[in-house]
């Protein structure tokens, strides 16, 4: 088994001449369990957050599209999934949330997915899951993982970015894609766009149910 890279991945290597993420470099580095420089990781989080902020609560998408469920920190499963399903340049994806916790590589999962989002903003869509919140990540292991690999600054940046993730999507105007499920407060899909998503999920209400009602 080769040793992990001794050097941190920095912006000089990560961004290509066009200022876009070099995904081949990122895959090669993360596949060997290499780490990103903290400044680079925070920059990736910031750029992805800006893209999420510009998206509505309810995305309107059309096929062909590949729908992906929970990843839960399984970085190498995510890599295999992309190998089988095709890279976002070839395949349109919507991920339904729960990127973190349980597995040991949640930081790497989100770093990769945010990089894919930056490189292919219209081909990679990410919804919020019930684990993309402070309560769950403190109870499970994502907060601990962030503190072990980096510090609370990175954890807080991730948590703030999760507040900006869209909540649901329609596909072809016929199918509703959402992490959790329906709600008594969901009289029609337009109600989703009237919800304030930029917050820690409350204990009840439409935002809570969209993430939890499974």
Catalytic site positions: 131
Distance CA 31, CA 1 (A): 12
186: left (phi over 0), alpha (psi -120 to 50) or beta: beta
**Residue 100 CA from chain centroid, whole number:** 9
Please name every residue paired with 175 in a beta bridge, in sequence order, or none if there are none: 171
User: Dihedrals φ, ψ of 150, to 5°?
Assistant: -135, -110
Distance CA 59, CA 76 (A): 28
Judge whether 91 and 63 are in contact, CB under 8 Å: no
Query: Count of CB atoms within 10 A of residue 28's CB?
Result: 13
Distance CA 32, CA 1 (A): 9
Distance CA 104, CA 84 (A): 22
Bridging pattern class, strands 93-95 and 58-61: unpaired
């Amino acid at each position: 088994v080769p040793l992990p890279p001794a050097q941190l991945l920095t912006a000089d290597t990560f961004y290509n001449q066009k200022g876009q993420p070099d995904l081949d470099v990122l895959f090669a580095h993360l596949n060997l369990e290499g780490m990103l420089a903290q400044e680079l990781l925070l920059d990736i989080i910031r750029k992805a957050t800006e893209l999420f902020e510009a998206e509505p609560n309810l995305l309107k998408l059309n096929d062909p599209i590949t729908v992906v469920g929970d990843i839960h920190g399984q970085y190498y499963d995510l890599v295999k999934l992309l190998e089988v399903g095709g890279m976002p340049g070839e395949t349109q994806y919507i991920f339904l949330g729960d990127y973190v916790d349980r597995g040991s590589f949640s930081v790497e999962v989100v770093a990769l997915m945010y990089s894919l989002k930056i490189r292919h903003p219209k081909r990679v869509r990410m919804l919020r899951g019930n684990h993309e919140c402070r309560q769950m990540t403190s109870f499970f292991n994502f907060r601990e993982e962030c503190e072990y690999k980096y510090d609370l600054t990175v954890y807080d940046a991730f948590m703030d970015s999760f507040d900006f993730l869209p909540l649901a999507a329609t596909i072809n105007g016929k199918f509703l894609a959402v992490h959790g499920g329906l709600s008594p407060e969901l009289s029609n899909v337009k109600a989703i766009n009237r919800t304030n998503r930029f917050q820690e999920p409350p204990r009840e209400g439409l935002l809570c149910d969209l993430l939890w009602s499974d």
